[in-house]
Amino acid sequence: MSRGGVAAGRTRHRPDALRRGADRRGDRALLRRLTATAEAFPLRAPFRIARGVKTVAEVVTVRIVEGEATGWGEGVPYTRYGESVAGALAAIEDARAAVEAGAGRADLLALMPAGAARNAVDAALWDLDVRLGRASLPPPQPIETAVTIGIDTAEAMHRAALALSAAPLVKVKLDADRVVDRIAAVRSALPDARLIVDPNESWTVDLLRTVMPALVERRVDLLEQPLPADDDEGLAAFSSAIAIAADEAVHGIADLIRLRGRYSHVNIKLDKAGGLTAALALADAAESAGFGLMLGCMVASSLGIAPALRLAPRAAFVDLDGPWWLAEDRPGGVRIEAGRLDPPEPGFWA
């Protein structure tokens, strides 16, 4: 496959013409060949949240060749969960022999822990299986996605909100400073948009009580992970007038039990769940337990977003604007304009 890089030493996925050709080592044909590489996508502007600033999206890209078909997948290692690019590559290498020998998506659940590495391999296997006719997925549809305003001064956030005047759903990143002023500034610029507020675990329950009347007054639709995931007991005794979604507090089905009575929604991200296979099971379990669904993402390229689109119709809140932050996305990827996300070009993934 021909690839061109934006960052030095980086290669980029192009989904169609050069996906063909069986790989060989010497004269021995392999059942499969798996390769994993690190890639870096510079952002068009700094992305500020409560725990830091991101200027580059660092991803792991997996390629699995079998016969005439190639499957692709992407994962975004996240330091909040103790992940790194090097660690993800090592985890994929540990599973490579099993995958090349024929291990499938269900096998990955035992072979690899949940996380970005498994997500990348799972996505590549889905792509491969669909191309070979061994699996099917519904075609992705245009969706309404949140577009995100990063943390800044109230004045700068107001200006950023004005630029999103046509977006029906906007996500506002906050920390514990000037919460009311910042929300008011965004709402004054966006009188009609639905709002998600995401403090990324930076609040205390006392601050939550203090700012809740302002959140209600500014018609916030969803509050995402206000308290630290390991210190959210206060939510059990807090009667919220606004829906609250678990993000950092939920990775898999086992987490759902402790979330009851604290959260109304769960934010499913494929990088947390460890792939579309696990995310679909988590969505089923969460809905059965009475939770509403939010579908989120890391700052990723369209290759990381494409699998998540298959879950989007089930979610009350969709936040898949990761590629919107990139200075340059992969060719043929999603298009995001005025809060509408159009799927990738045919053949891009699955």
Place of tokens 């969803």: 222
The three-point CA angle 177-183-184 to 5° equals 115
Strands (E), the chain: 24-25, 28-29, 33-49, 52-66, 69-75, 143-144, 147-149, 169-173, 194-198, 220-224, 243-246, 265-268, 292-295, 317-318, 335-337, 340-342
Catalytic residue among 54, 171, 173, 272: 173
Question: Residue 9, exposed/middle/buried by CB under 10 A (0-12, 13-18, 19+)?
Answer: exposed
Q: How far apart are CA 81 and CA 237, in angstroms?
A: 27
Q: 175, 198 in Cβ contact below 8 A?
A: no
**Residue 276 is inside which H or E element, if any?**
helix 276-288
Catalytic residue among 54, 171, 269, 272: 269
Q: How far apart are CA 246 and CA 222, in angstroms?
A: 11
Q: How far apart are CA 151 and CA 160, in angstroms?
A: 10
171 is catalytic: no
Structure tokens at 62: 């997996």
272 is catalytic: no
- Residues designated as active site: 173, 269
